[in-house]
A and B are shown apart, each in its own frame.
Chain A
């Protein structure tokens, strides 16, 4: 198992480099000029100097190398400095945003908590809803519960999040009067500091809609996988053996079958984590959560290439890491699948 893990870790390195190269090459083709906003009265040689100050004068491979060094060497050094108070990164150039002229990573750190709260919570809610639904609809296959579950999950992943979100806003923020108990705010207020019961209530209120939108979409998919995997296991011989031994139905289903059916579902859950970060792009836009997705969109609109580059690459790292986690989890949970 250890050699397998190490081999997969080594394989992740060229994958990440390739993705970094793709992102870099795509952005190199950009027609947008960061000097476009500079007034025309600035003489061309000064413009050229400014361009060089942004690191644009050098050949492409040097730029790529420097970006990689900044990302993988200098930024971790900054984090280490921050934690231990050392000064490894002092005086070294970090990835600088063209919009704000401040380090990209600092902005991302500021935006991270909002995204993690909304996205993370919605995924937890989705798993909590999806697993029991999947189990029950597999155990009572073709019952009315199963039929309704199938229909609802079909709707869940057919109706795009940008419509469910808007629909919820129409119902809970527009149609329901503002003073009512059921009214929910449609705009996520990041400046809210939770320090009393009242603000906690407000925080919960503003999180309900974004969390629900993302949770519905993910729960629909996970519950389908759960159901299929339960159905595969319910007809196995070991289930018949367990029943023949006289075990209670509860322990047959919840201990024997559920544990075995969770194996593929756990990997599906791990694989889904990076995609929900992508999905949060839209949800954050609808509910005006100023998280990473919204940061990416504003950066794209403002032609802020270092920011776009870095955020896209962070998404790529998330995908690679969670693929790795899913593979390793699969090996740990299912001893039949040891790759070495």
Chain B
């Protein structure tokens, strides 16, 4: 770690070193570009491509790719490109928010169980129990049970969004918790923690100022894996017909709807499928590059 004791002349930030190492990983760089492109396209695409994704033009139904509809139209004549952009917003939003929730839970459980000896045993047993749950079936059951009440309380879209995010977040924090706990246990024995304690640092300060910044790298790597996992899970649920309502597109839902027309219009499944795969692939590659870049043993070389 670089010495930042004198902020006036701190020559190189640690994060610049990490960026420098990350740039040498070619696959990760290419995938970062792809991921940012997808992110921007999905976020701002609706301003460039202004067709309403819910607009039904029954005369233009089942069209292949052409100039006025670059991705074609579906069985009701809705523009597929517009629906892909709208669906991407939902899919990526679910992925990002669910990942943040899982990270928060995982980091919290990990830090607490690593730092407070008395809570370590119970919290780790809890983690083991969660790891032994059959996740996909339970997710399906959760969606089935809470879809109605939540839709009634928050409206169909927000309700399902909250449900998806919570369900995925609650079922995917365990790996992060384990990794963070291991790192915290190792950090706790280091001298800087001892000296921080000797000047009377409180527990809260100790965790926020000294421990959390030092476990940032495993947290960031599990963040990338978390996004990938959350996007796949959401699409899988939508694909099984247990996700967002039918008129509300997500990539998984678009894929699910296109499967019915597989015989007549096989190209229709490609758009959402490729979008999901490309996003997940690029996120995984970024995670790979990040893992190398955050490892100080590799970075020095």
Does B76 have its Cβ within 8 Å of any Cβ on chain A? no
Question: A316 to chain B: which residues have CB within 8 Å?
Answer: 132-134
Q: Do A19 and B129 touch across chains, with their CB atoms under 8 A apart?
A: yes
Whether A15 touches B129, Cβ cut-off 8 Å, given contacts A160-B280, A175-B266, A308-B141, is yes
- Chain A: minimal CB distance from B142 (Å): 7
Complex contact B277–A159 (CB within 8 A): yes
Chain B residues with Cβ below 8 Å from A186 are 262
CA of A175 to CA of B136 in the docked complex: distance in angstroms?
A: 32
Q: B235 at the A/B interface (Cβ < 8 Å)?
A: yes
Assuming the contacts A31-B148, A158-B228, asked whether A174 and B266 have C-beta atoms less than 8 A apart, the reply is yes
Q: Are B134 and A312 in contact (CB under 8 A)?
A: yes
Mask, A165-203, CB within 8 Å of B = 1, is 011011000110000000000100000000000000000
Q: How far is the CA of A266 from the CA of B113 in the complex (A)?
A: 30
Q: Which residues of B contact A169 (CB under 8 A)?
A: 262
Give A281 to B281 CA distance when docked, in angstroms.
22
Chain B 232-253 near chain A by CB (<8 Å), digits 1 or 0: 1001100111100000000010
- Name the residue on A nearest B149 (C-beta): A31
Q: Report B-chain residues with C-beta under 8 Å of the C-beta of A30.
A: 144-145
The answer for the CA separation of A170 and B274 in the assembled complex, in Å, is 14
User: How many residues of chain B are within 8 Å of chain A by beta carbon?
Assistant: 40
Cβ-based interface call for B276 (8 A):
yes
Q: Which chain B residues border A155 with CB–CB below 8 Å? A: 277, 281
Residues from chain B with a CB closer than 8 A to the CB of A19 are 129, 132-133
Across the interface, B240 reaches (CB within 8 A) one of A159, A274, A282, A308, namely A282
Q: Which residue of B lies closest to A297 (CB)?
A: B240
Q: A15-B128, A22-B133, A170-B262 are in contact. Are A162 and B236 (CB under 8 A)?
A: yes
B269 in the interface (beta carbon within 8 A): yes
CB-CB under 8 A for A167 and B138, given A160-B232, A174-B262, A300-B242: no
Name which residue of chain B comes closest to A161, CB basis: B236
- Least CB separation from B275: chain A residue: A163
Contact in complex: A323, B242 (CB < 8 Å): no
B residues less than 8 Å from A157 (CB atoms): 284
A residues 267-310 with Cβ under 8 Å of B?
Answer: 274, 278-279, 281-282, 285-286, 296-297, 300-301, 303, 308
Whether B194 is near chain A, meaning CB under 8 Å from some CB there, is: no
Number of A-B contacts (CB under 8 A): 118
The 0/1 profile, CB within 8 Å of A marked 1, for residues 212-240 of chain B is 00000000000000001000100110011
A160-B236 in contact given A167-B273, A274-B134 (Cβ < 8 Å): yes
- B134 and A166 within 8 A (CB): no
Residue from B134, B280, B284, B285 in contact with A278 in the complex, judged by beta carbons closer than 8 Å? B134
Report the Cα distance A301→B82, complex, angstroms: 30
A301 to B143 Cα, complex, angstroms: 11
Contact call B277/A163, Cβ cutoff below 8 A: yes
- The answer to whether A38 has its CB under 8 Å from any CB of chain B is no
**Which A residues touch B269, using CB under 8 A?**
163, 166-167, 170
Extra contacts, 14 of them, besides A29-B145, A166-B255 (Cβ < 8 A), are: A15-B129, A22-B138, A26-B142, A31-B148, A155-B281, A158-B281, A160-B236, A169-B262, A174-B263, A278-B136, A282-B239, A282-B240, A300-B144, A303-B144
| Residues of A participating in the B interface, judged by any CB pair closer than 8 Å | 15, 18-19, 22-23, 26-27, 29-32, 154-155, 157-160, 162-163, 166-167, 169-170, 174-175, 186, 274, 278-279, 281-282, 285-286, 296-297, 300-301, 303, 308, 311-312, 315-316, 318-320, 323
10 A-B pairs (CB sep. < 8 Å): A19-B132, A26-B145, A162-B236, A162-B255, A163-B273, A169-B262, A281-B140, A285-B239, A300-B140, A300-B144
Closest 3 pairs (CB-CB, A-B): A315-B134, A158-B281, A163-B273
